[in-house]
Structure 1
Amino acid sequence: MHSYEVTLVFQPESNEEARKATLEKLESIILDGKGRIEDLNQIGMRKFAYEIQKAKEGFFVLARFQIESSQISRIREFLNSDEGVVRTMLTKQRISPRRKRDGQSEQGAVHRASHQGT
Structure 2
Amino acid sequence: MTNRYETVFILTPVLSEDQTKEAVTKFKDLLKEGNGTVRHEENWGMRKLAYPIQKKSSGFYHLIEFESDPSLIAKLETEYRRDERVIRFLTVAMDKHHIAFAESRPARGGEGGTGRAPRKKKDNA
What band does the TM-score fall into relative to the shorter chain? 0.7 to 0.9
Residue 61 of structure 1 aligns to a residue in which SS?
strand
Name the CA distance, whole Å, in 1 between partners of 2:28 and 2:11: 16
Cα-to-partner distance string for 1:5-33 (whole Å, 9 max, x where unaligned): 11111111111122211111111111111
Aligned length: 97
Name the CA distance, whole Å, in 1 between partners of 2:74 and 2:50: 29
Matched to 1:70, the amino acid is S
Unpaired runs of 5+ residues, structure 2, are 101-125
CA-based RMSD of the aligned residues comes to 1.3
Do the aligned residues in 2 keep the contact of 1:18 with 1:84 (CA within 8 Å)? Answer: no
Name the counterpart of 1:110: none
Q: Shift in Å at residue 34 of structure 1?
A: 1.1
Alignment of 1:1-118 (within 5 A): 1-96=2-97
Name the CA distance, whole Å, in 2 between partners of 1:5 and 1:20: 19
Name the CA distance, whole Å, in 2 between partners of 1:8 and 1:24: 13
Name the CA distance, whole Å, in 2 between partners of 1:47 and 1:22: 20
Between structures 1 and 2, the one with greater helix share: 1
Name the CA distance, whole Å, in 2 between partners of 1:31 and 1:65: 10
Name the CA distance, whole Å, in 2 between partners of 1:16 and 1:45: 11
Name the counterpart of 1:109: none
Cα-to-partner distance string for 1:20-64 (whole Å, 9 max, x where unaligned): 111111111111111100111000111111111101111111111
Residue 12 of structure 1 aligns to a residue in which SS?
coil
Matched to 1:51, the amino acid is P
User: Identity over the aligned pairs, expressed in percent?
Assistant: 28
Unpaired runs of 5+ residues, structure 1, are 100-118
Name the CA distance, whole Å, in 1 between partners of 2:79 and 2:19: 14
Name the CA distance, whole Å, in 1 between partners of 2:81 and 2:63: 16
